[in-house]
Amino acid sequence: MESFRDLCFACFCILAFGSAAAVCEMVLPQAIIGASGCTWTTGVVAVFTCGPGLPGRAAEVLLNWPLLLVFAPVFTASGLVPPNGFLMLFVAGLDAILVLGVVHPFLVLARRASCRARAR
C-alpha cells in the first residue's frame, strides 16, 4: 500500500507541475515563447513547436504537458483508436497519471481519518 501511495503522490506532483505550467502559459505566453525559442503553432490543435533534436523535443513536451493532460482523457472517452501502439501507450499512461493523481488527495484524507479513529 505504501508504494501505491508513493506512486499516487508522484502522479499528483506531475499534475501539479502541469497546472503550474498551464497558469504560466496563460499569464506569460510571450515571455515563455521568447525564453524557450519555441513558437505557438495554431492548427486543429494549438501547440508549442520547438527546434529539432532532443532539447527541442524535451521543451515541446514540457510546454505542451498541460494540453496533453487535457487531451488524453478526451481522446480516450471519444473512443478514437490511436494510429500506432506508442501513441496508445502514451495516452494510456497520461490517463493513468491523471487518475492516480486525483486519487492521491483521497488517500491522504482516508489516512488522516483512520489515524484519528485509532487515536480515540
CA 113 from centre of chain: 29
Identify the pLDDT of residue 74: 83
Q: Return the ∠ at Cα 27 (arms to 46 and 103), rounded to 5°.
A: 75
Contact 41, 49 (CB under 8 A): yes
Identify the pLDDT of residue 100: 93
> Average pLDDT per run of 10 along the chain, which is 120 residues long?
89 91 82 80 78 84 85 82 78 89 91 82
Rounded to two decimals, what is the model's pTM?
Answer: 0.77
Q: Give the DSSP letter of residue 46.
A: -
Contact 86, 67 (CB under 8 A): no
